[in-house]
A and B are shown apart, each in its own frame.
Chain A
Amino acid sequence: MSAASPVQHQQAASNDATVWTHKDLVGLQDLTAAEITHVLDTAGAFKDVGTREIKKVPALRGQTMVNFFVEASTRTRVSFELAAHRLSADVINMTASNSSLTKGETLKDTAKNLEALHADIIVLRHSSAGAAQFLAERLDASVINAGDGAHEHPTQALLDTFTIREKLGRIAGIHVAIIGDILFSRVARSNIHALLKLGARVTLVGPSTLVPREFEQMGVKVTHDLDSVLPEADVVNLLRIQHERQRKEYFPSLGEYTALFGVTKQRAERLKPGALIMHPGPINRGVEIDSDLADSSRSVILDQVTNGLAVRMAVLYLCAGTNPKRG
């Protein structure tokens, strides 16, 4: 429940009536700063729903959301599912193994079938970059990208940005260090887009094989020296080392990675007081981050999970509420 304080209403609603006009959320690259801010503001209102006596609102009553996860995921799928339940939508879960994709049906045909069942929202996780865009262009239903290959994972970046704004009060001027496997990371790409648009500074840190210099073209700084970055960062966002995608040529061993890029207790002493430690989960304790540190007061990892729910409610509400076919 919101604080019982007198109304201090910031702005009139009349001047931002057309701030969200997208039926889909495919990525953050094509959104404006105002649109991203609008999602964060909307998520702020939806976050309060979780603290009410009745944690459910009727906004999407009667609508059907399909969680279509061609690539494995637990937390993102569950977060979208709970978000849809809080908005009173009906939810169907599909994974690659129980869908007809294993029988040779194409993505497009599967999606057309979902639409024939009158699915209003399709949340798609897929191993190919561009899969969400592909569906969004072909379906009347709202398509939400829950991760496509190494391309984008917009709701993760929105919840990271929401958490930074909530904890530090702003995004502009904040220095965020993203550490780890950037090359394979859709989370990093979406974060870079969101943070730069909102005026933050971004430094990427990791082994040169996983953080190539080419990223500097996006407008970020690239370094391979973690110790020099820690004293200057307001936020360190640690990405998971993706064992399942990792091959030997990128770095010799997990032990060596931890020695150079793991955030240990000793390293954490170099951080500014008040600097935040973030991680999209699941954590590899002892690899990217010391176990104690993950549970320390600097860590906002569980806040990210709570905020993820609010952000996904906001995204579902905004996309499902945009009906381009209506006059």
Chain B
Amino acid sequence: MNPAPTPPTPGAALVLDRAAIERCLKRIAHEIIERNPDLTKVALIGIPSRGIEIAKRLAAYLAEFSGTQPFTGVVDVAMHRDDLHRHRLPPRVERTILPHELEDMTIVLTDDVLFSGRTCRAAMDSISSFGRPARIQYAVLVDRGHRELPIRADYVGKNLPTALGQRVHVRFETTDGVDDSVWMSQT
């Protein structure tokens, strides 16, 4: 067993460790296979930044479990948000990478934390400006509640009841340089 990872802020509580995250994502991969018999028509599209890492990991598990390597891509949400004037600094814009033909594809959007639902709405708006996929599904590592829009995830790694003021931190070795972990802290 690895030594306990360092919290992102003092006093943060560990919610998921490396092994738990792996179990969550493997289970989601199995659920995606169950709901989508033809994986050649599935594209995993990550929402920056850590959703991209989740898309890559799910793609690797799907390849391992089913033998089919699905398309993985990115959807930029920064230019589709409706709250630029609410930020102090402009959110980073990423290149969107989608399959050339969206018509008969199932898009699985992936993100680390589902909170208000506004990011997911922006991602769906962004995709619809490229074309009309057959369906869009939504996979998240953590659902922390407090939706502001009628949006729900199809695949959830962990349902985590939180207070509005609390924060959820997701860390991946590949994107953050620290051990894979999910944390919760007060404010």
Which residues of A are in contact with B by a Cβ distance under 8 Å?
1-7, 9, 12-14, 16-21, 42, 44-46, 48-49, 52-54, 56-63, 87, 314, 317-318, 320-324, 326-327
Contacts and interface: CB of A to CB of B under 8 A. Distances in A.
14 contacts: A4-B99, A7-B56, A12-B49, A45-B93, A53-B130, A54-B129, A54-B130, A63-B85, A321-B87, A322-B90, A323-B85, A323-B87, A324-B88, A326-B86
A61 B82 contact: yes
A5 B97 CA distance: 7
Interface in B21-60: 46, 48-49, 52, 55-56
A4 B96 CA distance: 10
A322 B88 contact: yes
Contact of A45 (B76, B89, B90): B76
Given A3-B97, A56-B129, 10 more contacts: A1-B130, A16-B92, A42-B93, A45-B76, A45-B96, A46-B93, A48-B96, A57-B129, A59-B84, A323-B88
Interface residues of B, number: 43
B87 A7 contact: no
Nearest to A318: B90
B18 interface: no
B89 A20 contact: yes
A48 B89 contact: no
A287 to B, nearest CB: 39
Interface in B159-187: 174-177
Those 9 A-B pairs whose CB atoms lie nearest each other, nearest first: A321-B90, A13-B49, A54-B129, A326-B88, A57-B79, A59-B79, A12-B175, A45-B93, A4-B100
A14 B49 contact: yes
Contacts of A5: 97
B157 interface: no
B73 A321 contact: no
Nearest to A86: B79
Contacts of A14: 49, 175-176
A61 B82 CA distance: 7
B94 interface: yes
Contacts of A324: 88
A87 B93 CA distance: 13
A52 B129 CA distance: 7
A31 to B, nearest CB: 15
A20 to B, nearest CB: 6
A10 B140 CA distance: 23
A176 to B, nearest CB: 26
A320 B78 CA distance: 13
A282 to B, nearest CB: 31
Contacts of B156: none
A324 B88 CA distance: 6
Given A13-B48, A16-B92, A53-B129, A59 B176 contact: no
Nearest to B53: A9
Contacts of B104: none
Contacts of A42: 92-93
